[in-house]
Structure 1
Amino acid sequence: MSTNGWMSAVGRVTERIWFRLTLFGVVAILLALLARLVGELVPGSITIDFGQDSVSGILQILATSMLAVTTFSLTAMISAYASASAGTTPRATQLLIADRTSQNALSTFLGSFVFAIVGIVALSTSYYGESGRTVLYVGTLVVIALIVVTLMRWIHHLTEFGRMADVIDRVERAATDAACEHARSPHLGGAPPVEIPAAARPLAASRAGCVTGIDMAELATICDSARLTVHVHALPGAAVGLGRPLATVEGTADEATVERLRGVFRIEDHRTYEQDPRLGYVALAEIGSRALSPSTNDPGSAIEALNAIQRVLTRMLTTTTTDAEVRHPRVHVPTVTLEDIVEDALRPLARDGAAVVEVGLRIQRVIGDIIGIVSADDASVLRKASTRAERRAVGGLADAGDQELVTAAALEVRAREAGSALHP
Structure 2
Amino acid sequence: MVERWKWFLIRISKRPWFRASLFSVLGVATALLALAVAPYIPDDVPTKIGSDAVDNILGVLASSMLAVTTFSLSIMVAAYGSATSNVTPRAISLLVEDPTTQNTLSTFIGSFIFSLVGIIALSTGLYGAEGRVVLFAATIAVVILVVYALLRWIDQLSGLGRVAETTARVERAATRALCQRMEQPYLGGCPLEVDPRALPGARPLYADKVGFVQHIDMPALGGLTRSEQHSIYICVLPGIFVEPTQPIAWSIGIDEQCDDTLRDAFVIGAQRTFDRDPRFGITVMAEIASRALSPAINDQGTAIDVIGRGVRVLSHLSRPSPPEEPKFDRVFAPGLSVADMLNDFFTPIARDGAAVVEVGMGLQQALASLARLGDAAISVAARRQAELALKRAETALTLPEDHQRVRQAAIDAGFAG
Distance 1:375 1:67 in 2: 56
* Aligned match of 2:189: 190
Matched, 1:29 2:31: no
Partner of 1:348: 348
1:313 to 1:321, Cα distance in 2 relative to 1, 3 A = farther
Give the partner amino acid of 1:139: A
Q: In structure 2, do the counterparts of structure 1 residues 252 and 156 end up closer, same or farther at CA, with 3 Å as the change threshold?
A: closer
- Deviation, 1:278, is 0.3
After TM superposition, list the pairs within 5 Å mapping 1:76-155 onto structure 2.
76-155=75-154
- Structure 1 letter corresponding to 2:275: E
Match of 2:240 in 1: 238
Deviation at 1:377, TM superposition (A): 3.8
**Which one of 196, 203, 228 corresponds to residue 205 of structure 2?**
203
1:317 aligns with 2:289: no
Task: Say whether 1:277 aligns with 2:255.
Answer: no
Q: 1:217 to 1:61 in 2, by over 3 A?
A: same
- Asked if 2 retains the 8 angstrom alpha-carbon contact of 1:52 and 1:123, the reply is no
1:213 lines up with 2:215 in the alignment = yes
1:67-97 superposed Cα distances (whole Å, 9 cap, x missing partner): 0001111111222222212211122111111
**Which deviates more, 214-223 or 353-362?**
214-223
Note closer, same or farther for the CA distance 1:179–1:319 as it changes in structure 2 (3 Å cut): farther
Instruction: Name the residue aligned to 2:360.
Output: 360
Q: Is the 8 A contact 1:183 1:317 kept in 2?
A: no
Pairing of 1:1-80 with structure 2 (within 5 A): 1-2=1-2, 4-48=3-47, 54-80=53-79
Which amino acid in structure 2 is aligned with residue 97 of structure 1?
Answer: V
CA offset at residue 57 of structure 1? 2.0
Farther off after superposition, 18-27 or 193-202: 193-202
Does residue 337 of structure 1 match 2:337? yes
Report the CA distance shift for 1:383/1:57 in structure 2 as closer, same or farther (over 3 A). same
Counterparts of 2:210 and 2:228, CA distance in 1? 27
Deviation of residue 51 (structure 1)? 7.0
CA contact (8 A) 2:52 2:132 kept: no
| Counterpart Cα distance in 1 of 2:228 and 2:128 | 65
2:229 and 2:23 mapped to 1: Cα distance?
A: 47
For 1:388, what is the secondary structure of its paired residue?
Answer: helix
What is the identity, as a one-letter code, of the residue corresponding to 1:207?
K
* Letter aligned with residue 385 of structure 2: A
Separation of aligned partners in 2, 1:48 and 1:87: 59
Judge conservation of contact 2:205–2:249 (CA < 8 Å) in 1: yes
**CA RMSD for the aligned pairs?**
1.8
CA displacement 1:91-115 (0-9 Å, x = unmatched): 2111111111100110000001001
Partners of 1:171 and 1:280 within 8 A in 2: yes
Alignment correspondent of 1:176: 175
How far apart, CA to CA, are the structure 2 residues paired with 1:224 and 1:85?
47
TM-score, scaled relative to structure 2: 0.95
Asked if 1:400 is matched to 2:400, the reply is: yes
1:242-261 maps to which residues of 2 (within 5 A)?
242-255=244-257, 257-261=258-262
Give the superposition deviation at 1:252. Answer: 3.8
Partners of 2:229 and 2:52 in 1: CA distance: 73
What secondary structure sits across from 2:248 in the alignment?
strand
Secondary structure in structure 2 of the residue aligned to 1:373: coil
The 3-state SS of whatever aligns with 2:102 is helix
Give the direction of change, closer, same or farther, for the CA distance of 1:226–1:63 in structure 2 (3 Å limit): farther
Deviation of the 1:23 alpha carbon:
0.7
- Distance change in 2, residues 1:337/1:311 (3 Å): same
Deviation at 1:250, TM superposition (A): 1.3
Do 1:287 and 1:302's aligned partners in 2 also have CA atoms closer than 8 Å? yes
Determine if contact 1:49/1:134 at 8 Å carries over to the other structure: no
Letter in 1 for 2:278: P
Aligned counterparts of 1:106 and 1:208: Cα–Cα separation in 2 = 35
* CA spacing shift, 1:252–1:318, aligned 2, 3 Å: closer
1:230 is paired with a residue whose SS is strand
Amino acid at match of 2:401: G
CA deviation after TM superposition for structure 1 residue 190, in Å: 1.5
CA distance in 1, matches of 2:11, 2:318: 28
Query: Post-superposition shift, 1:195?
Result: 3.2
> Structure 1: how far apart are the matches of 2:48 and 2:376?
80
The alignment's TM-score, normalised by the length of structure 1, stands at: 0.93
Q: 2:351 corresponds to which letter in structure 1? A: R
Report the residue type matching 1:239 in the other structure: F
Q: For the residues of structure 1 that align with 2:24 and 2:375, how far apart are their CA atoms?
A: 55
Q: Deviations over 1:319-356 (max 9, x none)?
A: 42532x33322111112211100110100000000111
SS at match of 2:233: strand
Q: 2 CA distance for matches of 1:299 and 1:45?
A: 71
The aligned amino acid for 1:330 is: R
Secondary structure of 1:278's match? helix
User: What residue number does 1:422 align with?
Assistant: none
Structure 2: segments with no counterpart, 5+ residues: none
Deviation at 1:283, TM superposition (A): 0.7
Distance change (3 Å), C-alpha of 1:96 and 1:331:
same
Count of aligned pairs between the two proteins: 414
State the alpha-carbon separation in 2 of the partners of residues 273 and 319 from structure 1. Answer: 23
